[in-house]
Amino acid sequence: MLDRDGSHYWGVVLEAPDARQLAQFYSRLLGWQIVKDEGDWVTMHPGDGVAYLSFNTSPDYERPVWPPQLGRQQMMLHLDFEVPDLERGVETAVEAGATVAEHQPQDDVRVLLDPAGHPFCLYVDPHD
């Protein structure tokens, strides 16, 4: 059984053609500190809490397409980030190295692509 008291670390690992390069992008985007860099495996942490984000170099990495296309590599997951201002959040992400996706399925969410092609979303909490 998994420990459920909230004291053990959990995280997400993204495959990439270059783990270090993708970790540096997310470090710029989120302001998280890289806490482990083994070249092909890089881990970052926000500084508090038990969540982390890691990156693994995969020599056979195939860039996903967005929106999904039959017969092409599809995304397996995507990350969501709440921002206080959607326009400014997009500007910050692009300055860090992201690309705004051509297909935008919602008016109040922006889909962007990280340098390895993983889609991620920026959104503003509608209750704020």
Cite the DSSP H helix spans in 9-113.
Answer: 19-30, 86-96
pLDDT 10s digit of each residue in the chain, 128 long?
566 677 778 899 999 999 999 999 999 999 999 999 999 999 999 999 888 999 999 999 999 999 988 988 887 889 999 999 999 999 999 999 999 999 999 999 999 999 999 999 999 987 76
Strand partners, 106: none
**CA angle, residues 124, 113, 70, in degrees to nearest 5:** 110
Q: What is the pTM of this model?
A: 0.89
Q: Which domains does the chain have, with CATH numbers?
A: 1-61 (3.30.720.120), 62-128 (3.10.180.10)
Look at strands 33-37 and 41-45 and give their pairing: antiparallel
Kindly provide the b/e burial profile for residues 13-42, where b requires at least 16 CB atoms within 10 angstroms of the residue's own CB. ebbbbbbbebbbbbbebeebebeeeeeeeb
pLDDT for 68 equals: 85
pLDDT for 9 equals: 82
pLDDT for 127 equals: 74
pLDDT for 1 equals: 54
Question: Rounded to an integer, what distance in angstroms lies between the CA atom of residue 31 and that of residue 41?
Answer: 19
pLDDT for 2 equals: 62
